[in-house]
A and B are shown apart, each in its own frame.
Chain A
Amino acid sequence: MKIDEVPQDNGMIADHGHEICYAVDENGRYRLVPSLGWEAKNIVNDQAWEVISSEAEKMYTLAKKGKVSPLAYYQVKHQMDLTLLAKYVSLPRWRVRRHMKPAVFHKLPTRILQKYCSVFGISMDELLNLPESFSHQQVKNRLT
């Protein structure tokens, strides 16, 4: 890759600076060249986020209908599977799996709910009630 071939396609790292590419200058010497991103990478990154956010949308709809607890939505939103979430709250997997049931979830003591709040970085109110509407942007820009 030559220096003038280093892509500058803004996308994923907007406002967060640059990443470094290695490219050769006109004398064939390698240089570290800042890049704003690359279209090919933007495409595959968007593809990965598409999967995550459509999964989250599915859970959101289910939770709204009361088929699963809000926990199931937050789990998917934070790209966690059951094993990972169980590790974060230091509970056995089977208990976390039970908490996905709305009937069980809404009877949980504050002590347990607090654990989930701190993992997801949300308030108790947010944990118990889903956001009013769902947009894919919500998932992509989480924690900002």
Chain B
Amino acid sequence: MIEFHHRQSAHCESGVTSNLLYFYGVDCSEALAFGIGDGLFFGYLPFIRVNKLPLTTFRCSVGTIFNKVSKRLGVTVRRKKFRSPAKAMDELDKKLDQGIPVGCQTGAYWLPYFPPAFRFHFNMHNLVVLGREGSDYIISDPVFDDLVRCHRSDLIKARFAKGALAPKGAMYYLEHVPDSPDIQQAVATGITSVSKIMLKTPVPFLGVRGINFLANRLAGWPKKLGAENAALHLGQLIRMQEEIGTGGGGFRFIYAAFLQEAAAVLEKQELARLSNQMTLTGDKWRGFATLGARVCKGRAKDEDVYDRLADMLRECAQQETAIYRELGEIAAL
């Protein structure tokens, strides 16, 4: 089996990116990968439904982190999709025999080592396959404590999961990694880019405007949807924010960790201060989840509780706006 340093991480894509780079001698932490890859985002997309409930996202679209990090660090990536499961597995085996760790996009529903409570039809889970022992594959799944094993037939099912964003057996591996990639430049680009996306995306449901948009909608839920359905909407929102793989606070803490590292990389102390502010915003998001979960459980029934929740979101939006403004200015220098 390939000698691979498995480091558990909060989020699958940034974890895979960081671990693969580490294998090739680039020590890029998960937080750094997340920040360089424009991981942070916000979008409230009521016209896209997951389990009949609106989609809220706290991160960029899947694949962006890996793509942007490899582009910004000058890494060459080879990616393949397949029609035939047999060919997809052959190609995987071939690469493993050559000693190359291979990233795979999979559906989480079919991975047997997932806790049953987390098995949903989510097709954008990333993991690294390291080797094969008989009919078992050895996998570094970044959101798990240790290496895991998965039977070949389960891995086939997972790689060929169907439905929205079907992986179609997608696999990828690094072909060339530069000896000393320009991390400073990559970090600065990542910061500018996130500040721009969060402040200037010209639609009302994305970026910080999206947080305010959601706040206004959320305040109207109990009237519009009735208490029960409003609680389901709220529950889904909190799951998106805190579900396994965010590091807490809808990725705000992991981004704060990135800013802290960025302060050292770019030697800009202002970034450390902004990291602290981002931590406070993350705490506010956590507070939102705590109160929201109480509502879902039926423990907080007072009439204005949704207004209070909406106000908490508006405060998050306000704090984040200030942070992204400063980030844009600092990184431009």
Residues in A lying within 8 Å of B, measured CB to CB: 1, 11-24, 28-30, 32, 34, 38-41, 43-45, 47-49, 51, 79-80, 83-84, 87-88, 140-144
Contacts and interface: CB of A to CB of B under 8 A. Distances in A.
B145 A30 contact: no
Interface in B220-250: 231-232, 235-236, 238-239, 242-245, 247-249
B238 A40 contact: yes
A140 B293 CA distance: 20
B290 A40 contact: yes
A85 to B, nearest CB: 9
Contacts of A47: 231-232, 235, 296
Provide the main secondary structure of the chain B interface.
Answer: helix
B292 interface: yes
B130 interface: no
Contact of B242 (A22, A40, A84, A87): A40
A72 to B, nearest CB: 17
Interface residues of B, number: 54
B222 to A, nearest CB: 16
B146 A21 contact: no
Contacts of A142: 116, 119
A38 B247 CA distance: 12
Contacts of A39: 293
A24 to B, nearest CB: 6
Listed residue (B162, B239, B253) with the most chain A CB atoms within 10 angstroms of its CB: B162
Contacts of A13: 115, 117-118, 244
B207 interface: no
Contact of B247 (A21, A24, A143): A21
Given A1-B283, A13-B115, A17-B144, A44 B238 contact: yes
Given A19-B143, A20-B8, A20-B10, A44 B276 contact: no
A32 B10 contact: yes
Contacts of A49: 117
A139 to B, nearest CB: 10
A143 to B, nearest CB: 7
Contact of A32 (B9, B113, B242, B279): B9
Contacts of A18: 8, 145
Contacts of A80: 121
